[in-house]
Structure 1
Amino acid sequence: MAISTFGFEFRQTAQDGAARTGVLTTPHGEVETPTFMPVGTQGSVKTLTPEEVAATGARIVLGNTYHLWLRPGPEVIDKIGGLHKFTCWPHAMLTDSGGFQAFSLADRRTVSEEGFVFRSHLDGSRRVLTPEVAMQVQGALGADIAMQLDICPPGTASPREMDEACAVTTRWARRCLSAKRPDQALFGIVQGGTDVRRRLAHADELAAMSFDGLALGGFSVGEPIEKMHEVLAEVAPRLDASRPRYLMGVGTPTDLVRAIGAGVDMFDCVLPTRNARNGQALTKQGRIVIKQARYKEDFSPLDPGCECPTCTQGYSRAYLRHLFMAGEVVVLRMLTEHNLHLYGRLVREARAAIAAGRYAAFARSWLTKDVADS
């Protein structure tokens, strides 16, 4: 189905097996795919400035609709002209629907055909999140890409619950399309757990609608990681090739390498930034837990092959450990920059490998040791 939203276009530029490169054109610039979107939950990628985020190679970030809805409120952001101006991020931006956060508040929410009713985790106020409200809030935030409201069941859900989640998500998809801002792209979200047949059936339902892209939701929610990889290999290559494919909330560098090999174009995950704040640096050789005593007199950089400022400016593992143990907040910035540079390097090298027809060799070089392993 042709893309119809003004200022938004996706075109594939190369393919190697199921892996592919492309260019996503948005009102705020082009994004080369595969791409990783750093997560800016509160309108900020934690500890970094927008300029520092862009220096990692990122040309699209994710904003969290739920948190921005509660604080400072979409009216405030709309008044300045949208989330781009509010956050001083000049490149492309995607906002999630808020549904995952609402659905995860198990002790604070109820769900019905109409939507979610929940209590704010900030002040306990009653909130109602319907497909129409999700579109209204995201329209006020003004990101280039909005996401439909969906039901995201846990990996342990029964087949009946999975079927119902797909059915409600489909009905909400139609309501979101009817309520979307005309100049904002909208992605549908494919559910179905780890059942390939259910996933493909739901993908077909959403592909028949005028979504600008298709996302795979409901992964990395309790199912075995090996099963997720297996299902992605079956499902992702069979999503409509004319639209971008987005794997939501996933994951480790290994997850990205495997999913890119299956044809996924877009990713987001809090792992690189969250792990940095916990004192973990990701390298191609393995994970470094900086507080460990073995780094007390280790004067080597985190990763000699890394081009991030933390590594190239000569900061040693011993110094970073000292900062972390002393509670100096600057180390959280330094580790975050490093981790996001690694993700930027991964997708940049993946694009080059696909264009050169050598993705399999590239994947093997990254999969020899999962960088999230200890």
Structure 2
Amino acid sequence: MSALLDSYADVAGADVVQHLRQLAAPLRGLKIVNINSTRAGGGVAEILHKLVPLMQALELDVRWEVITGGGAFYQCTKAMHNALQGQPAPLSEALLRAYEQTNADNAETLAPVLRDADVVFIHDPQPAALLRYLGERKGKWIWRCHIDASHPQRSVWRYLREFIADYDASVFSLADFARPLPHPVYLVPPSIDPLSEKNRDLPAWQVTEACHRHQVDSERPLMLQVSRFDRFKDPLGVIAAYRLARQFMPALQLVLAGGSADDDPEGAAVLEEVHAAAAGDDDIKVLLLPSDAHLTINALQRAGQFVLQKSLREGFGLTVTEAMWKGKPVIGGDTGGIRLQVINHHTGFLVSTPEGAALRVRYLHQRGDIAAEMGAKAREFVRENFLITRQLRDYLTLVTSVLHAREGRLELS
């Protein structure tokens, strides 16, 4: 397992890997459990697939468990997700009962694991109520919110807060997202794994082959957005921007590539809307990819001259990080975690409308020299701030802090 850590030295630096070993040494053997609602689809599952083995390589006893539920549960948690991002989402008593009962059932099933853990990370709203129904516990519980909760619907946040207040700490991606809570709140931005299939270097032939396989002309300019088919990702706005950009770039193509998540019941309806908006234009390719299509996404991001993430709300936007790592200046929605990554006019452009996105496409098309310079800045910005070694360092520091919360700290009453 040590070889796994050593493989990151060439990318992140040998000193970074050595620092991780030093931070982990006092925590060796610690039992840590992560709980979320899906193993496939979305940034949370993607991060855990990489973070858990790295923590195990540091000799921590780390597990990843997934809660299960029925249709009413996922309908409720999707509405909660939307409400935390500011979209009105009234929740019926029946849906809330389904949410609470599902958490109670999963608490009973997972009790042997959860009660024995030294630290439990609960990811997002879906399993947030587990602690309430667990009863006796040994370890510290941390709620990890990956969502832009800067302007939540008040009634939904009040409801969730009743469960979250019982935790020992909470973690948000940005300061703007953090909510007042009666325990310590930490800030840890997400990250990408530079050595994964989705982010490692690819030979040119593999990029060309992926384009041909999906009927994309590798000789013509390509506009790309990779994301789940979710209204907050604004795929219809991307199509509108493409049609505006086509007025000055007739050869332009658009690819909307994404997948579905097991815990997102709205995905099929959004995909149907996208297909309807793209109908009749052979230069728009809508690709519903499986959760393991990492090499395809990697190739498409390398092929795209104009990479968009035109989100209306965004917790962080790992697809932005991925594209920047590949040397692409990203045209991103002026919202949430995208602002943390896209430094306007330096690593990409922030936009609020389809018209603004189309203008930035035109600018990058006309100024290839500036596009290349911005892309180089974007890659270095990710290297310094958003690789998984940095997130692992932050989590090790966070765990140490939570376990020794009152040691060496002066409490003022």
- After TM superposition, the score normalised by the length of structure 2 is 0.29
Structure exhibiting the larger radius of gyration computed from Cα positions: 2
Structure showing greater relative contact order (alpha-carbon pairs closer than 8 Å, 6 or more residues apart):
1
Question: Could you say which structure has the higher helix fraction?
Answer: 2
